[in-house]
């Protein structure tokens, strides 16, 4: 009897797997579990939290604090808005980053020291597992050999390359540095995973300036700039150009950055330069932590089963296409199952607290309704009897006759008959009866004549 049951079990298993696979196929591979946290420390309003990996262009477009409210999400036929998007110290796709530092004569003294300090902080904050970094100097002598000799390594090891930058001297071969650097990054991506991407960071304090005594063949003029721009475009790399001081030309740097890059102009100030590098670092981080406040009544719907969380920004700038950010799995026992508290130390958390104030307080609403219902019952049934007792008794009707009064003595029969035969008292105008007399009380020995005595045997 056991063997015939095995084929049936196998068929049932195959049937279940067949119908379960399409549901699993809707969830993307790099998604993370969706968790539930408290929106505030002393709050029961749930917030759903997930992590979504973005492509580099999406990460750059979403790197604005003001655009955090543009994120939208859908889960279990619920539309969630007011999402908070924060950059995390994670790079979803492997990154190859080449940093080119201008070591021309104008960088002597405070310029090179300021750049070293800011670069050390910037590189040390990059994740070691998903980033390869190389640091190379450029000026106008031995420019190409120095850049092509760049060695890509983990961020911690790349700090030694920052400390090993030579002393500034020579002129500035900016166009040639951008062209050769783009080629080096493109070649370094060979053999890397398909989702790997490259970026070029150039730091300079001047404009392209080459002399006859410099390396032969260095790019110059509008022709040289166009060659550098074409090299950046053909490589597909992302380019950041940081101009320190007042000498760099903003339009020139913007032209070199192209459509896949950005340029920054900053004074020789450590704090300002640190802010610029922080913005570039956040643009490199392609993972966003999303937090969405959800209605309190959504707990019952979320407890029904597993649902994918689809997020999108839809701000009209091409960022970001709808994607599955994670999969919600209800807890084993019951909801709510808070896994922590949302960050309330930032300005964006005020939006969560405002959303919490708008949520219906179910318990308080029920208590208020019960109070007013009790007041209505008291006013309808109890209060009239307290104010008008006679009318309330009249509404209740006359009392039922007692059993002792239902049997009268026979002696009282003539009196009853006489009273019945007596003419009705006259009623004068106005409805007042005249000549009404009160009948005398009956004695215990009186019995009615209509009722026969029972013989006692």
Average pLDDT (348-377) is: 66
Query: What are the structure tokens assigned to 435, written together?
Result: 């000549």
pLDDT of residue 395: 53
Angle at 387 between CA 383 and CA 390, to 5 degrees: 115
The answer to whether 327 and 34 have CB atoms below 8 angstroms apart is yes
Q: Which residue has the higher pLDDT, 228 or 457?
A: 228
How many whole angstroms separate alpha carbon 331 and alpha carbon 9?
A: 28
Q: What percent of the chain has pLDDT over 70?
A: 67
Average pLDDT (222-250) is: 92
Average pLDDT (38-58) is: 78
The answer to whether 273 and 296 have CB atoms below 8 angstroms apart is no
List the chain domain ranges.
28-90+287-358, 95-284, 363-395
Beta-carbon count within 10 A of 233 CB: 15
Q: Where are the beta strands (DSSP E) in 278-346?
A: 287-293, 307-312, 323-328
Residue of 147, 35, 71 whose CA lies nearest to 310? 71
Residue of 285, 260, 278 whose CA lies nearest to 62? 285
pLDDT of residue 156: 94
Helices (H), 171-269: 174-188, 221-235, 250-257
Residue of 17, 16, 44, 25 whose CA lies nearest to 356? 44
Average pLDDT (319-327) is: 70
352 contact partners, CB below 8 Å, separation of at least 6: 39, 40, 45, 47, 82, 84, 291, 293, 342, 344
The CA-atom distances, in angstroms, between 140 and each of 26, 111, 174, 185 are 54, 18, 9, 20
pLDDT of residue 24: 27
What's the CATH superfamily of 95-284?
von Willebrand factor, type A domain (3.40.50.410)
pLDDT of residue 28: 32
Q: Is the peptide bond before 320 cis (omega within 30 degrees of 0)?
A: yes
pLDDT of residue 390: 59
The answer to whether 34 and 325 have CB atoms below 8 angstroms apart is yes
pLDDT of residue 19: 34
pLDDT of residue 29: 37
315 contact partners, CB below 8 Å, separation of at least 6: 67, 70
Average pLDDT (81-98) is: 82
Average pLDDT (281-304) is: 82
Residue of 123, 23, 49, 66 whose CA lies nearest to 309? 49
Phi and psi torsions of 61, nearest 5°: -70, -25
Helices (H), 72-220: 110-124, 143-148, 155-163, 174-188
Question: Please, what is the average pLDDT of the chain?
Answer: 76
- Whole-model pTM over 0.75: no
Exposure string for 351-386, b = 16+ CB within 10 A, e = fewer: bbeebbeebeeeeeeeeeeeeeeeeeeeeeeeeeee
149 contact partners, CB below 8 Å, separation of at least 6: 136
pLDDT of residue 345: 43
Q: What is the largest CA-CA distance in the chain?
A: 156
Residue 405 confidence (pLDDT) above 60: no
Q: Which residue has the higher pLDDT, 356 or 295?
A: 295
Q: Enumerate helices (H) and strands (E) in the chain, giving the number of each.
A: 15, 13
337 contact partners, CB below 8 Å, separation of at least 6: 36, 330, 331
Q: Residue 11 — very low, low, confident or very high, per pLDDT cuts 50/70/90?
A: very low
How many whole angstroms separate alpha carbon 263 and alpha carbon 396?
A: 92
């Amino acid at each position: 009897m056991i063997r015939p049951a095995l084929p049936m079990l196998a068929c049932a298993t195959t049937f279940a797997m067949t119908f379960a696979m399409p549901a699993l196929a809707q969830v993307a591979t790099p998604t993370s579990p969706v968790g539930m946290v408290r929106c505030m420390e002393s709050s029961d309003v749930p917030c759903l939290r997930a992590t979504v990996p973005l492509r580099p262009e999406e990460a750059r477009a979403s790197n604005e604090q003001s655009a955090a409210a543009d994120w939208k999400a859908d889960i279990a036929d619920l539309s969630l808005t007011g999402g908070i998007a924060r950059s995390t110290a994670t790079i979803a796709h492997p990154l190859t980053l080449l940093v080119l530092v201008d070591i021309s004569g104008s960088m002597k003294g405070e310029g090179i020291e300021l750049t070293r300090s800011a670069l050390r902080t910037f590189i040390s904050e990059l994740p070691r597992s998903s980033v390869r970094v190389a640091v190379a100097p450029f000026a106008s002598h031995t420019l190409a050999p120095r850049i092509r000799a760049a060695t890509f390594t983990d961020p911690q090891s790349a700090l030694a390359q920052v400390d090993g930058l030579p002393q500034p001297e020579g002129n500035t071969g900016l166009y040639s540095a951008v062209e050769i650097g783009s080629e080096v990054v493109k070649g370094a991506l060979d053999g890397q995973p398909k989702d790997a991407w490259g970026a070029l960071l150039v730091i300079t304090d001047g404009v392209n300036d080459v002399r006859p005594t410099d390396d032969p063949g260095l790019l110059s003029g509008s022709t040289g700039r166009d060659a550098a721009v074409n090299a950046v475009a053909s490589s597909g790399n992302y380019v950041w150009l940081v101009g320190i001081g007042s000498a760099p030309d903003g339009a020139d740097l913007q032209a070199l950055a192209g459509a896949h890059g950005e340029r920054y102009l900053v004074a020789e100030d450590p704090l300002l330069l640190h802010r610029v590098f922080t913005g570039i670092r956040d643009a490199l981080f392609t993972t966003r932590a999303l937090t969405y406040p959800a209605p309190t009544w959504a707990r019952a719907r979320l407890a029904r089963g597993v649902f994918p969380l689809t997020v999108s920004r839809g701000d009209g700038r091409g960022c970001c296409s709808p994607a599955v950010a994670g999969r919600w799995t209800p807890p084993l026992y019951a909801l709510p199952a808070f896994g922590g508290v949302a960050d309330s130390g930032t300005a964006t958390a005020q939006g969560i607290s405002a959303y919490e104030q708008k949520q219906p307080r179910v318990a308080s609403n029920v208590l208020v309704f019960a109070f007013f219902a009790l007041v209505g019952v008291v006013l309808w049934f109890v209060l009239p009897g307290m104010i008008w007792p006679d009318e309330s008794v009249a509404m209740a009707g006359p009392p039922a006759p007692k059993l002792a009064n239902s049997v009268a003595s026979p002696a009282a029969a003539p009196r009853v008959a006489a009273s019945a035969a007596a003419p009705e008292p006259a009623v004068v105008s106005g409805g007042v009866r005249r000549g009404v007399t009160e009948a005398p009380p009956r004695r215990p020995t009186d019995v009615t004549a209509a009722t026969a005595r029972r013989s006692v045997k």
